[in-house]
Structure 1
Amino acid sequence: MPGYAVGVDVGGTNTDGVLLDPSTTSLASKDSIKAFFKSPTTSNPSQGIETVITTLLQTAKIDAKEVTSVTIGTTHFINAVLEKDRNRLAPVAVIRLCGPFSRDVYPAIDWPADLRDIICQHCGFVDGGLEIDGECISNIDESQVAAECRIIKEKNITSVVINGIFSPSDFEHRQEERVAEWVRKYHTEADVVISKEVANLGFIERENAAILNASILPFAKSTIHSFEHAIRRLELHCPLFITQNDGTILPAQLAARLPIRTFSSGPTNSMCGAAFLVQNQTEKESMLVVDIGGTSTDVGMLLANGLPRQAAAVTEISGVRMNFSCPDVKSIGLGGGSIVRRNSTTGKLAIGPESVGHHIQWRALVFGGDVATATDYAVASQGLAGIGDAGLVPVAVKDEIPEYTAVVTQMLERVIDSMKTSDADIPVLLVGGGAILAPDTLKGASRVVKPEYSGVANAIGAAIARVSGTIDTMVSTADRTTQAVLEDISKMAVDKAVENGAIRESVKIAEMDVIPLNYIANKARVIVKAIGDFDFSIPTTRSSIDADESFIENVVVEKKPSDEPFAAEVPALDISSYKPTVTAKREWIISEVDLEWISTGCYILGTGGGGTPYPHFVRLREMMRKGSVVRVISPEDLKDSAVVACGGGKGSPTVSIEKLPANEQMEAQRMVYDKLGYQPDAVIALEIGGGNGLQGMILGASNNLNVPTVDGDWMGRAYPVSWQITPVVVGGDKAHFLPTAIADGNGNNMLLLSGTSEKLIERIFRAALSEMGSHVACAKGPCSGKNTKAYVIENTISLAWRIGRAVALCRSKNQIDSVADAIIEEVGGNESAQVLFRGKIISVERKTVKGHVYGEVVISAADVSGAGAAMEFSGLLKIPFKNENIMASAIDVEGEGGGYRERAGSNLRVRCVERRGDWDPRI
């Protein structure tokens, strides 16, 4: 039976509601919106929801029985994390299914200490986990799980996370599901969260998300249960939904299990609502949505498909890295309640970020208060009817209106420019209750649209949200076409959407991607998202949410006062004046700041491959915090007789995002030096690019070696195979490093005593590592100090440091567009490197051949005159790659037919700057 949909968005300042007729949503908004209402948010969200829905029904003269759905968007769960509120965050225990792996990178290792201390109270490492090919690292053991449950119960922890290596790809063994059953068996009061239901591939980031999800479960259950009680009291007999980060909905009982999926739903609702409000006024094109609320302004990109542009694969909330779907949103402290004052130092007018929030109706000047807010200036300048009394605004404030308008315009134009991917003007939609603050024209906007009902766009977005199903998995592509693989995974995504409540006939594939895995033949990561309309014909049952009934009616979302003192604010690092520590013995003692910059530089020197340094970065940082000292020395300080060890990872970097290392690096080194009967004097990284760039420092700082690391490597960047090194270039393709060894960390080791060439040794080891989880640690045999000085590419750790420092400087100054120029300046200026091209990636092609990913990136030129570029670019740039890249071809585009003519070829390698005679990384 046709009915009405209610959308409610519970914000920090206001609770907005809208009553929508779904049968007319294809018409103009005025025909489908039957009523809307905005009310100040109260400490008890259920009361505000009741007030809003009651008003909607009375205004539209609609009987409660005619409402077919209620969808609520809320920021309460993310606020609990942002505020680090012990009253709303439960302690969590983690059980890792990992075998011998990941033990040096414990849960929440990279979290802010105060948040980790509140939440993470136990971790148990047990057998389990999968290899990238789906084989078990080890079988799960019920007795081990039972033992962990006894400890968890003794600690009075009821929120438990199960996280297994490569669990999102585990469709056969179902290890996480089986362990969850055992936990419920031995700890009957436990709330169990399995990581694969929360997020996708990326062990650390998925676990982080699962831990936060588990921590807010009790509060989320009580809050959502209070929402359901509000619906019952209104005698609404319809399903309740909660909006997700990606613009789709979850049934209330599922949202109570996965509250983390609601973290960024507020901005998403606004973007989707904005798209609905202009659906008959604009063509299908990308648009920026500027949502101005009571406290802040959120800016996001709405794509032509009607969905928000998603953020990078890794997002960060309250200092915690996660990898769940999240809209790409930038926020600034500009809202209707923003406090306006004159800066005592500069004398200039400043707006926000402080805000009176939902106290605006008695603190703002137009309402008889004594605080000048952005709303006061807007009312005084525009004569807005129905918002307070403009006559209460003092003359002194009215005299500042021109300056106020200029500041608002500048704030909005800056954030708009930061969200654009090119300098072309783009349509801007202004929504939110504070949209009245914005001018009618903005630099960078092709047009500024303030649609009708824009003040409740967030509630509209909630009301029209759809159902999704996403599959992110590893699959075999052997003897199958890409199209066949996509068809199979697409069917799974459609089934997932239907399982979540969508009408099968309405489900469409919204996104899909196939990513071949580096170094692994016939294996790819496939991501498919399907979206459809909710099936309101599905019988609904009353809440299955298990919440504390005595707490339901007293859910308070404001943070309670705490007796704990505020943590002292850590002063920001002065990057320009920072200098690393170099001892009188010419040893560079690596600090955490140095390490962070080096990691950034290693990532960039990976030239598109090499794997992320992040897991190795947090591991080494933890070693340093526990007392390990990382020493880096110049190659020229090596004695000719010195013994220099070398180590690094071999195989697919994709493995490292899931299977965090065990002790395989040191096991491989032990095999070599136990055979030789002596120990090395120093260690050098195989390659500086990617994750291997940190391996030399990890080995050198370990208790087993405790030797300095040479400031250099054998590649100067990252290359696909380990025989592509300077010793082979200089000394020929013979076996330079014998004996040499590999270890997989799970008890499988190989020592090669002789070989005819580095190339053949590589082929032998690659044949073996394909059976050892597609990733191993490699220890190359010793190199003399004399040969190291002859072969080394000098000062590449220093180079990575300089690159990382340049990036950090640009970030601190919000000058990301200039980062390439800053890097070039750091590494020696135009004589060392140059900007070849600036533009936007328009296509990426990939295919797997003999375990390597071959492909091509095509970049279209963009006008970047505003980025400080000294030259303009046109046409296209094509960058072919074999895992990593090494060259680029610029292409002229001739005529409308799109004919291409190759213009030039360029080497992308950044030349290292030699600093002989006076080595000092501080120079």
Structure 2
Amino acid sequence: MSPHSTADINDTCVPLLDVEMPSKITSCVIGIDVGGTNTDAVVLRDERVIGWHKTPTTSDIQEGVELAIEAVVKKAEIPVNHVGAVKIGTTQFVNAVLEQDSSKLEKVAVIRLCGPYSRGTPPFLDFPPALRALLYGHYGYVDGGYQVDGSLIATIDVNQIKEQARIIKAKSIKSIVVIGIYSPSNPAQEEDVKKILASELGPDYDISCSHAIGRLGFLERENASILNASLRRFARHVIAGFSEAIRHLGTCNLYITLNDGTLSMAQTAAEYPILCFSSGPTNSARGAALLAKSYISDANDGREVLVVDVGGTTTDICALLKSGYPRQSAAFVKIAGVRTNFTIPDVHSLALGGGSLVRTKRLRTSVGPDSVGSRLNQEGIAFGGNKFTATDLVMVNTFTQELIDPEVKKSGLAEIGRALEDAIDLVKTKQGEARVILVGGGSIIVDEHIAGVSEVIRPKYLEVANAVGAAIGRISGSVDKTVVPTHGIDLEIQRATSIAKKKCVAAGGDDKTVEVVEVDVVPLSYATNGATRILVRVVGDLKNKYDFAPDKVIPKAPLRKKRIAKCARAITDSSPAVTKGSSYEVVKQFDVKSYRPRIEGDLWYFSELDLQFLQDGAGILGVGSCGEPYSAYLACLMALRNGEDITIRRQDTLPDDAVVLVAGFMGSPGVYLERIPGVDEITDAMKGTMKMAGIENFDAVVPNEIGGLNAFESILAARRFKKSVLDTDLVARAYPMVWQTVRCLKDVPIAPCSVADGSGRVDSFSTATDNFHAEDLMRTACTDQGSLGGMCISPVSGAEAKTLPRNSFSHAWQIGRSIAISRSLKIDPIPPLLELQSGVLLFIGKIISVTRNVAEGFTRGSVLLEPFSENDSNRIGDEGVEKSLVIDFENENLSAVLKEQGKEEKVLACCPDLIVVLDKANGAPLGISDYKYGLRVSVIALRSPPVWTTERGLEVGGPKAFGLNMDYKSVATSAVAYEEPKSVWEMFGEGS
């Protein structure tokens, strides 16, 4: 593990040692959690609950909060002027987005500080249509942005900003987002543009900067900023209502709880409502940590601590860290179908709660997923109603004795236990039995005995743990930036930590209590200048007071009438508000299996569904590298929606003297996620190579490799020249070096070749000493261009194209289609995929550590996995034997080695076979930059094409080519000869 890895600092899931909670306070604190079913309130003094109240959530949230405060103060028997702070968690803001309420959402204008970049993928493109119609106002591109090393892409042009201000004013758009490339690393340009806009537009316009909303990841940060800007007016309305609700408490301070379990001052929360979207599960975990603190005495026994929060409709389960905070999710987050990148707790939710409906059918009892929710006290059988709920299974009174069969009770409770045990096993991040802290009003339905759990702790006040968590919230500060550490990484970490601490204090934290809770250091692949991403998060206790002036919050005013009588909901009531991302979702009503691609003669015309299939297929063939192709996928999607054709040409249909250009990107995938490509990087490189080769025209395009983003970028390059892409590539998978292609196995030269940055700079090389020299020349040029550039190497003839790997796009498409079919059927995608590809399941488990280091621009490291539990039937080897899997990678996954207690290490797979790590939940392929502690994954291996298992192929792309001390042994499980992938023409063409 890297000495600066997050896991070293706060990711070890062991029982709480000394949970860091706020220092003693001289006055009382009220914590409130406004949930979908109930509003909970507690009064704490010196971390002790002295009063609590639970009531059904009302439609008027302000009135509900007022009543909750009145009731809980009365129960605590304290004077109202003894309350020093009220801390509220609310779902109001996320609900406004989910319901697509036009009375609460504003149209938004986006100004990108991007220079020539990002223009192929405009704002709002990936929003669901109905939500896009509500929010889309305007977007404009202007000069600005930074490179990965901090140098300028372009300086700000004041006249361009003033022109955008004029357009925005003419369109009567009052909410504006300013977003610049690498602004989290340096927010100066965003802040300067904000000042210019404010001067031009005046105080009636709401201007926000993206660096205050999200982390690195341009499109995701922009999306989050758009949602946030659209909600700001409504958020001020809500916060003003909350401030009104606490006026009778005197000079009490108001705070709002955030997604990461910390707090925001009320005025700040009104500016950044999106940071409050998922605070509920975090509050529950934090409250559970405090309430169960006295129950955990043998803190050094190594058992993992989980929090299980059972409500009226759902159960949330998360792993608790030593810090008393839940583990944060490593995946991107989708809100109402919009992809964002702010952090939320890594919570596994299942549709099980006290109000879940119980049904019996054919001697089988089911519980949920639907629920009576807050109507339990009126509709449940135990309360005289006629709805059979999970609560009725455990309550004994006249109603339940007369109406419920004892055998049904028994089977229903068994079904609850089974569902809970399965969910707990998914959340556990280490072997052995865990401790469970059980909280929530619906927790009475959970039995004391749970497989894989050594102890179930039911702390006092468990019904209001979420409100307790809100009450003990602390203030945080964070930094996410990319640096080139010229004076050492430790100094850069110190600088980032200092900035994070200053942010914490500025937000209301006590500088004497600020402490570091997270440090993550990730070197960027392919960046030869040592560029490294640093993330630091700190927390601190609240200052005793801050200058809270309710009047500074925009006074509560009536919201405007809805522009439409009734706004259609984006999702059904049972759908999750916030989801951890997969690469895409397949529409339920669409029969994916019956879909047939459009084939006309030698051309395959891509549809939106074809692009979706390619996204996962290219990800798997990327073998952990090649970058996440999301922005290029969106650019292709826009082309289709604009009526343009995207065509793949059958591989062997070109004449022998045809000219085929090779297209792709060179550089760091990490840079690709922030400096979104423009439209000229690859096309400029192609023109540079054509000039070097003396070529005036060409006939088709092939990607340098089929893996990851390069498949999509070759499609975009071909479209810009109105050409087709051939159904092939140069590798049939992914490798880190340009000379690791099937052409170079035959010593075909890479030069002439070119690298271009998209802003007019093209570095071309007519000759090189050999292919290694050519690679060095191109890598040096790429680094100088910001560690990312379009690439085009020596052209391919039509005759040579017929000898390249067969049917590469068809192959990726088949893989993605298999995964999509499984998702649509709600089944595990791994078995069908392995059957289709003659692949092997190597391991199912959780990542428990990741180490990374950079040598000569390449990220080398390893990831360690352990099985879910000792009872996991999918584990390899004998039951009861401790085992783990180690995957070595150098940008791509290289080897998978099984380690079992008392046995020699066993190589399960190595390159050139394809070792792929997939998200256990949905089968989405993960890249090495996605590897994070606690991720639940499946590891598979696919057979290598025969060209890479020859003596020459192994010399260039086998284990010894990467310095691994092992011999290649195929993962093939049978004597069946390798079958080349079929083309879509063979599967779906005429006569198929």
| Shared fold, TM over 0.5 | yes
For the structure 1 residues 117 and 635, does the alpha-carbon distance in structure 2 shift closer, same or farther, using more than 3 Å as the test?
A: same
Partner Cα separation in structure 2 for residue 410 and residue 837 of structure 1: 23
Partner Cα separation in structure 1 for residue 557 and residue 506 of structure 2: 32
Partner Cα separation in structure 2 for residue 629 and residue 867 of structure 1: 48
The AA in structure 2 aligned to 1:823 is L
Deviation at 1:803, TM superposition (A): 2.9
The AA in structure 2 aligned to 1:269 is N
Helix, strand or coil at the partner of 1:747 = coil
Helix, strand or coil at the partner of 1:696 = helix
For the structure 1 residues 212 and 789, does the alpha-carbon distance in structure 2 shift closer, same or farther, using more than 3 Å as the test?
A: same
Partner Cα separation in structure 2 for residue 629 and residue 292 of structure 1: 51
Match of 2:754 among 716, 720, 741: 741
Per-residue CA distance 1:522-559 (angstroms, 9 max, x = gap): 221111111121121x44231364424433xx899xx9
Deviation at 1:329, TM superposition (A): 1.9
Per-residue CA distance 1:23-58 (angstroms, 9 max, x = gap): xx3xxxxxx111111112112222211212222222
For the structure 1 residues 903 and 680, does the alpha-carbon distance in structure 2 shift closer, same or farther, using more than 3 Å as the test?
A: closer
- TM alignment of 1:444-593, pairs within 5 A: 444-480=452-488, 482-520=489-527, 521-536=529-544, 538-543=545-550, 545-551=552-558, 562-563=565-566, 572=588, 577-581=593-597, 583=599, 585-593=601-609
Match of 1:854 among 810, 835, 860: 860
Per-residue CA distance 1:583-633 (angstroms, 9 max, x = gap): 352533333222212211222322232111111111112212222333324
Q: Name the counterpart of 2:11.
A: none
Q: Name the counterpart of 2:910.
A: 906
For the structure 1 residues 625 and 849, does the alpha-carbon distance in structure 2 shift closer, same or farther, using more than 3 Å as the test?
A: same
Deviation at 1:207, TM superposition (A): 0.5
Deviation at 1:341, TM superposition (A): 5.0
Q: Name the counterpart of 1:844.
A: 850
- TM alignment of 1:204-223, pairs within 5 A: 204-223=219-238
Count of matched residue pairs: 879
Helix, strand or coil at the partner of 2:184 = helix
The AA in structure 2 aligned to 1:187 is L
Partner Cα separation in structure 2 for residue 862 and residue 15 of structure 1: 35
- TM alignment of 1:113-262, pairs within 5 A: 113-170=129-186, 174-188=188-202, 189-232=204-247, 234-262=248-276
Q: Name the counterpart of 2:779.
A: 766
Partner Cα separation in structure 1 for residue 324 and residue 337 of structure 2: 30
For the structure 1 residues 544 and 485, does the alpha-carbon distance in structure 2 shift closer, same or farther, using more than 3 Å as the test?
A: farther
Contact kept, 8 Å, 1:892 with 1:903, in 2: the verdict is: no
Partner Cα separation in structure 1 for residue 413 and residue 867 of structure 2: 35
Q: Name the counterpart of 2:627.
A: 611
Give the RMSD, CA atoms, in angstroms.
3.0
Deviation at 1:920, TM superposition (A): 2.7
Q: Name the counterpart of 2:20.
A: none
Larger RCO (alpha carbons 8 Å, 6+ apart): 2
For the structure 1 residues 472 and 602, does the alpha-carbon distance in structure 2 shift closer, same or farther, using more than 3 Å as the test?
A: same
Contact kept, 8 Å, 1:512 with 1:526, in 2: the verdict is: yes
Contact kept, 8 Å, 2:662 with 2:792, in 1: the verdict is: yes
Helix, strand or coil at the partner of 2:795 = strand
For the structure 1 residues 227 and 132, does the alpha-carbon distance in structure 2 shift closer, same or farther, using more than 3 Å as the test?
A: same
For the structure 1 residues 907 and 519, does the alpha-carbon distance in structure 2 shift closer, same or farther, using more than 3 Å as the test?
A: closer
Per-residue CA distance 1:93-147 (angstroms, 9 max, x = gap): 1111111211221112111111111112111111111111111111112221222
Partner Cα separation in structure 2 for residue 711 and residue 409 of structure 1: 50
**Range moving further from structure 2, 211-220 or 576-585:** 576-585
Q: Name the counterpart of 1:776.
A: 789
Q: Name the counterpart of 2:805.
A: 793
Per-residue CA distance 1:350-386 (angstroms, 9 max, x = gap): 54444444344444445454544444x14xx423xxx
The AA in structure 2 aligned to 1:160 is I
Deviation at 1:871, TM superposition (A): 4.8
Match of 1:684 among 702, 721, 734: 702
Helix, strand or coil at the partner of 1:439 = coil
Per-residue CA distance 1:409-446 (angstroms, 9 max, x = gap): 33333433333345644222221111122222233433
The AA in structure 2 aligned to 1:205 is E
Q: Name the counterpart of 2:931.
A: none
Partner Cα separation in structure 2 for residue 335 and residue 891 of structure 1: 40
Partner Cα separation in structure 2 for residue 259 and residue 687 of structure 1: 42
Helix, strand or coil at the partner of 1:87 = coil
Contact kept, 8 Å, 1:802 with 1:823, in 2: the verdict is: no
Partner Cα separation in structure 1 for residue 981 and residue 400 of structure 2: 68
For the structure 1 residues 917 and 813, does the alpha-carbon distance in structure 2 shift closer, same or farther, using more than 3 Å as the test?
A: closer
Q: Name the counterpart of 2:347.
A: 329
For the structure 1 residues 737 and 908, does the alpha-carbon distance in structure 2 shift closer, same or farther, using more than 3 Å as the test?
A: closer
Q: Name the counterpart of 2:575.
A: none
Q: Name the counterpart of 2:951.
A: none
Q: Name the counterpart of 1:28.
A: none
Deviation at 1:779, TM superposition (A): 1.9
Q: Name the counterpart of 2:711.
A: 693
Helix, strand or coil at the partner of 1:280 = helix
Partner Cα separation in structure 2 for residue 299 and residue 719 of structure 1: 39
For the structure 1 residues 228 and 426, does the alpha-carbon distance in structure 2 shift closer, same or farther, using more than 3 Å as the test?
A: same
Contact kept, 8 Å, 1:737 with 1:783, in 2: the verdict is: no
Contact kept, 8 Å, 1:49 with 1:230, in 2: the verdict is: yes
For the structure 1 residues 409 and 840, does the alpha-carbon distance in structure 2 shift closer, same or farther, using more than 3 Å as the test?
A: closer
Q: Name the counterpart of 2:686.
A: 669
Partner Cα separation in structure 1 for residue 372 and residue 563 of structure 2: 18
Partner Cα separation in structure 1 for residue 93 and residue 65 of structure 2: 16
**Range moving further from structure 2, 866-875 or 273-282:** 866-875
Q: In the alignment, is residue 46 of structure 1 matched against residue 32 of structure 2?
A: no
Partner Cα separation in structure 2 for residue 208 and residue 567 of structure 1: 17
Deviation at 1:653, TM superposition (A): 1.4
Partner Cα separation in structure 2 for residue 529 and residue 571 of structure 1: 38
Match of 1:18 among 36, 39, 42: 42
Contact kept, 8 Å, 2:257 with 2:279, in 1: the verdict is: yes
The AA in structure 1 aligned to 2:160 is Q
% of aligned pairs identical? 36
Q: Which TM-score applies when normalising by structure 1?
A: 0.89
For the structure 1 residues 582 and 903, does the alpha-carbon distance in structure 2 shift closer, same or farther, using more than 3 Å as the test?
A: closer
Deviation at 1:677, TM superposition (A): 4.8
Contact kept, 8 Å, 1:349 with 1:407, in 2: the verdict is: yes
Q: In the alignment, is residue 647 of structure 1 matched against residue 663 of structure 2?
A: yes
Helix, strand or coil at the partner of 1:130 = coil
Partner Cα separation in structure 2 for residue 595 and residue 409 of structure 1: 41
Partner Cα separation in structure 2 for residue 257 and residue 849 of structure 1: 43
Helix, strand or coil at the partner of 1:122 = strand
**Range moving further from structure 2, 642-651 or 627-636:** 627-636
Q: Name the counterpart of 1:29.
A: none
Match of 1:315 among 317, 333, 358: 333
Match of 1:433 among 441, 454, 465: 441
Match of 1:2 among 4, 26, 29: 26
Helix, strand or coil at the partner of 1:550 = coil
> Structure 1: which 5+ runs fail to align?
26-31, 384-389
Contact kept, 8 Å, 1:112 with 1:320, in 2: the verdict is: yes
Q: In the alignment, is residue 915 of structure 1 matched against residue 980 of structure 2?
A: yes
> Structure 2: which 5+ runs fail to align?
1-24, 573-585, 915-943, 946-977
The AA in structure 2 aligned to 1:692 is N
Contact kept, 8 Å, 1:127 with 1:141, in 2: the verdict is: yes
Q: Which TM-score applies when normalising by structure 2?
A: 0.83
Deviation at 1:403, TM superposition (A): 4.0
Helix, strand or coil at the partner of 1:256 = helix
- TM alignment of 1:796-875, pairs within 5 A: 796-812=808-824, 819=830, 821-827=831-837, 829=838, 833-860=839-866, 866=872, 868=874, 871=877, 875=883
Partner Cα separation in structure 2 for residue 621 and residue 855 of structure 1: 35
Deviation at 1:862, TM superposition (A): 5.9
Helix, strand or coil at the partner of 1:175 = helix
Deviation at 1:219, TM superposition (A): 1.0
Partner Cα separation in structure 2 for residue 484 and residue 660 of structure 1: 29
Deviation at 1:634, TM superposition (A): 4.0
Contact kept, 8 Å, 1:243 with 1:250, in 2: the verdict is: yes
